[in-house]
């Protein structure tokens, strides 16, 4: 059954403070920058004592996510500690299936779970696309609140999980080591899987456009479980649905789009071909090789191993320099945003992040200076 397209959204025209630091957006658009911008996946999180205090005050994780003022508070916390070049909306990738009525809850030590997994034809048929301005209003309100609180300091990133990643949680009923249920459906009943993915793609498209309308200045698709798919299956069950979203979003807003497939190093050219402004890289990919493969087709984001931050600040700085040397200084039509190759660990010492951020800024400025000096 085809999914009906919504009316075209009218994007935000409300006056907001002009950007003071737009380096992140310029890098995504492959424009010249004075240095390499940096932000972190999961940069507002349990490694920060101030986050833990706010979460305790909220009572639980879902309340923290669903209270715009608290989501704003924790979004801004890492910006008070570090000279980051972007903020990312504090939320969760499972907001969409939660809004579909699947009964999201969190169990300490087990992560997210759904009361009503989607595992048969009747459950698939019941799936409905949530209205971002109704069932997901708390997220949209959080985006507006955060954008206002930033006052132009740095850009705000909105995000969603990819259709395939959302489907993994929806069918498995939570996280999984082997993806037994979702892959069984994928192979045994591909018609049902494609129906789930089509609904998810439409839901994600509307959700990201609503975030852009509310003030998000860049948008990221987290294909966290794309790398769990076999070659061939990725091109059938993940990539085309992300392509649909990228095309829809790019047609309706100027906000740059980043696509991150964890474990997707094999498919960089194919991911770049769906049209994102940037491709995120996990830590298994060599930055220099990735630049040679797709660096003039889109920007690159990444990709320090998050576990590097467990080492001493001197080692962190050395590893950052190695990563920046691997990529080099961006040339015309190229762009690089420094990030981790996945989310920051809850066990990361906060001062080690300072060493990383400061080294990215200082060393990348020196790289550009050396490039100009040698020109």
Distance CA 128, CA 170 (A): 13
Q: Is 55 among the residues known to form the active site?
A: yes
- Check 26, 30, 42, 206 and give the catalytic one: 42
Q: Is 169 among the residues known to form the active site?
A: yes
Q: Is 9 among the residues known to form the active site?
A: no
Q: Is 46 among the residues known to form the active site?
A: yes
**Which one, of 42, 12, 11, 39, lies nearest residue 23 by Cα?**
39
Name residues whose C-beta falls within 8 Å of residue 333's C-beta, 6 or more positions apart in sequence. 30, 296
Distance CA 313, CA 311 (A): 7
- Check 55, 116, 153, 368 and give the catalytic one: 55
- Check 9, 46, 293, 368 and give the catalytic one: 46
- Check 35, 51, 82, 169 and give the catalytic one: 169
Report how many helices (DSSP H) and strands (DSSP E) the chain contains, helices first: 16, 9
Distance CA 241, CA 219 (A): 16
- Check 22, 85, 92, 282 and give the catalytic one: 92
Q: Is 207 among the residues known to form the active site?
A: no
What 364-369 contacts at long range (C-beta under 8 Å, 24+ apart), as own/partner pairs, is 364/35, 364/36, 364/324, 364/329, 364/338, 365/34, 365/35, 367/324, 367/328, 367/329, 368/34, 368/35, 368/329
- Which pair of structure tokens corresponds to residue 175? 């996280």
3-class state of residue 7 by DSSP: coil
By annotation, the residues acting in catalysis are 42, 46, 55, 92, 169
């Amino acid at each position: 059954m085809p999914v009906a397209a919504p009316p075209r959204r009218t994007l935000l025209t409300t006056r907001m403070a002009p950007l003071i630091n737009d380096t992140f957006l310029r890098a995504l658009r492959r424009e010249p920058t004075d240095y390499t911008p940096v932000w972190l996946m999961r940069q507002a999180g349990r490694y920060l004592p101030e986050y833990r205090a706010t979460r305790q005050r909220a009572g639980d994780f879902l309340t923290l996510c669903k209270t715009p003022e608290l989501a704003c508070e924790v979004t801004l916390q890492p910006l008070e500690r570090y000279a980051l070049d972007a903020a990312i909306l504090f939320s969760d990738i499972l907001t969409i299936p939660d809004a579909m009525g699947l009964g999201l809850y969190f169990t300490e030590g087990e992560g997210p779970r759904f009361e009503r997994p989607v595992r048969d034809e009747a459950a698939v048929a019941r799936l409905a696309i949530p209205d971002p301005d109704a069932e997901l209003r708390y997220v949209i309100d959080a985006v507006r609140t955060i954008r206002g609180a930033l006052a132009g300091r740095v850009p705000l990133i909105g995000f969603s999980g990819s259709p395939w990643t959302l489907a993994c949680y929806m069918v498995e009923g939570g996280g999984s080591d082997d993806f037994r249920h979702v892959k069984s459906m994928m192979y045994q009943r591909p018609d049902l899987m494609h129906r789930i993915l089509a609904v998810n793609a439409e839901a994600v498209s509307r959700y990201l456009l609503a975030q852009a309308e509310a003030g998000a200045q860049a948008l990221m698709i987290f294909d966290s479980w794309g790398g769990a798919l076999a070659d061939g299956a990725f091109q059938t069950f993940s990539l085309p649905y992300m392509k649909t979203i990228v095309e829809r979003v790019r047609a309706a807003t100027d906000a740059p789009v980043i696509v991150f497939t964890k474990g997707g190093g094999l498919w960089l050219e194919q991911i770049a071909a769906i049209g994102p402004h940037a491709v995120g890289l996990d830590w298994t990919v060599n930055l220099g090789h990735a630049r040679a493969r797709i660096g003039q087709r889109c920007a690159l984001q990444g990709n320090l191993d998050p576990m590097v931050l467990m080492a001493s600040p001197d080692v962190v700085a050395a590893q950052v320099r190695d990563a920046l040397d691997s990529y080099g200084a961006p040339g015309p039509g190229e762009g690089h945003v420094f990030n981790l190759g996945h989310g920051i660990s809850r066990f990361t010492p906060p001062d080690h992040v300072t060493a990383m951020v400061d080294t990215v800024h200082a060393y990348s400025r020196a790289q550009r200076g050396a490039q100009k000096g040698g020109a």
